[in-house]
Amino acid sequence: MTGVKKINHVAVVVADIDAALAFWQDALGLELHHVEDVPSQKATVAFLPVGDSEVELVKPTTDDSGVAKFLAERGGGMHHLCFEVDDIAAKLAEMKAKGVRLINETPIELPGRKMAFIHPKSTGGVLVELYEVT
């Protein structure tokens, strides 16, 4: 079994990052590391480290992404849980062999990382992301 190292991040979809920071930063007390435009995700993301993990506040920047649809339908909320793994290709193959439904059969390669999503139908309703640092 390929190793799962840690929870890399928890992603929360928000309509307005500044408004969301009133809770996550000002009331809860997390530190805002930085805010970044992520064109590949059609989103602006605020990164708030917590120990070895992060909370990511994700605001869609277009109307046509999965995140935008999630915001329109549910008004935001917890979107996905991301696990950092040693070997994402091996982990996807292991899961597929166990009948897990994958959204990305092969990892999406980005600078410094590979990522893939697991279908909520196989996880009890939680969108799960796998992440390998490269």
- Interface with Co ion by CB under 5 A: which residues? 11, 82, 129
- Closer CB to Co ion, 11 or 14, in the complex: 11
- Closer CB to Co ion, 79 or 95, in the complex: 79
Closest CA relative to residue 112, chosen from 26, 40, 11: 40
Minimum distance from CB of 21 to Co ion (Å)?
A: 18
- List of residues 6+ apart from 54 with CB closer than 8 A: 8, 9, 10, 33, 47, 48
* Interatomic CA distance for residues 80 and 10, integer angstroms: 6
- Closer CB to Co ion, 84 or 129, in the complex: 129
| Strand 113-118 versus strand 127-133 pairing type | antiparallel
Minimum distance from CB of 75 to Co ion (Å)?
A: 20
Minimum distance from CB of 131 to Co ion (Å)?
A: 7
- List of residues 6+ apart from 82 with CB closer than 8 A: 7, 8, 9, 10, 11, 115, 128, 129, 130, 131
Minimum distance from CB of 40 to Co ion (Å)?
A: 11
